[in-house]
Amino acid sequence: MSYSLSLPASAPLITLTHPKPSLWVIELHNGQDSRLTVDLVDRGLKPALDAVERDWREQWRAAQKAKDKEGGKGALIIVGRKDQDKFFSNGAFQMLNSLRTYWLTGHFHDRT
């Protein structure tokens, strides 16, 4: 399954692609420096991570049901703007603080 999802839909800050069955790519494009802001995390990154987790869990469950030891594998890559030669550390502290709260409230725990 291959797809592209821009979040939030009204004014995209990130693009989530799923180019291969076991690979998801999140591209940040919040301004020229892909700044990590609370808005980007809350309205873009968190929904994208939810989508990745949902897809991966579906694949993992199907692999478990089929007793496929190779199925259910996955990788997520987060990149800055692909059209620039930059990285995205600006605002990393805000992002990590926001994600810490997100993870502590039940996301990314074993909910099989």
pLDDT tens-digit series, residues 81-112: 777 776 655 555 566 666 666 655 655 544 44
CA distance 8 to 48: 9
Q: Where are the domains of the chain?
A: 4-104
Between 96 and 6, name the one with better pLDDT.
6
pLDDT at position 106 is: 58
Between 102 and 58, name the one with better pLDDT.
58
The answer, yes or no, to whether residue 48 has pLDDT greater than 70, is: yes
Q: Residue 102 corresponds to which tokens in the numbers above?
A: 């997100």
| CA distances to 29, 32, 34, 81 from 84, in Å | 10, 8, 10, 6
CA distance 2 to 35: 27
pLDDT at position 24 is: 96
User: Mean pLDDT throughout 13-35?
Assistant: 87
